[in-house]
Homo-oligomer: A and B are copies of this chain.
Amino acid sequence: MSRSNTTSSPRARGVDRVISLCEQLHLHRQPMTPKELIEATGAPRSSVYELVSLLSEAGWLETTSDGRIFFGRAMHYFGLDYADHNDLLRRARPVMRQLSARFDETTQLCMLDGDKYTVMLNENGARPFRISSEVGVKVPIPWTASGRVLLGGMSREAMLGLIPEEDFVLPSGERIDIEGFIADIESTRRRGYAMTEGLVDSFACCMAVPVYEGAGPARATLCFTVGRDADETRRETLLAALREASCSLSSGE
């Protein structure tokens, strides 16, 4: 439906081709055949073949045994360079591990990426539920508890200017009331945390607290994703732990 791929003109710059190629791989989160890549990017066949071979030589991409293409070692190296260099991520990792270990729940560090919400770090509980994390997957802000925290303190105009109209429609087709959403954000800000149930997925309960960096809006959120069956006291416990952890991560600047 939505042509997410850059409907690029013919004779595009190689670098742009490379970028859209990698973006497609990230979207699919699975190795892709050359054919799929060609169709997904809209790039000419010969260009895709050439670029893939260039990138493979550099270790940016790898070809699996069945001829599919996916990210290679180099990306792993570069990604770790980024994560190691990023202050917040580096400090958050051990904290999140401890949270996950202690409560055996999935802990996430979430941030805004442009006008979308995204998971930056994911730490699973012991039970290895999901095989691949969803780090870097962009989700409309109104769909999430964290989104409500991250918008805290923003002006009404800035908020509406930021969020695309269509992002207020849930996967179910239901539309989120804008006024209610704004009120939600305000009460979230006062309360200091957000908790949503069955917003995107009907079995999950999401709780998020802000992580600050200096004054201004929250830099990130720390959150638990738990089953809806968790009872009240359990939720209290988890929230308290989140608050404490986020406090240790926040910096007054």
Contacts and interface: CB of A to CB of B under 8 A. Distances in A.
B70 A75 contact: no
Contacts of A22: 74, 78
> Could you say which interface size class chain A belongs to?
35 or more
A7 to B, nearest CB: 16
27 contacts: A14-B14, A15-B15, A15-B54, A16-B54, A19-B58, A19-B60, A22-B74, A22-B78, A26-B78, A59-B113, A71-B82, A71-B85, A73-B82, A73-B113, A73-B136, A74-B136, A75-B75, A75-B78, A76-B135, A76-B136, A77-B79, A77-B135, A78-B78, A78-B136, A81-B132, A85-B132, A94-B128
Contact of A82 (B15, B75, B81, B82): B75
Copies of this chain: 2
Nearest to A58: B19
Which of the listed residues A13, A15, A29, A60 has the most CB atoms from chain B within 10 Å of its own CB? Answer: A15
A92 interface: no
Given A19-B55, A94-B128, 16 more contacts: A14-B15, A15-B18, A19-B54, A26-B81, A29-B81, A31-B85, A71-B82, A73-B113, A74-B136, A75-B75, A75-B78, A77-B135, A78-B79, A81-B132, A84-B132, A85-B132
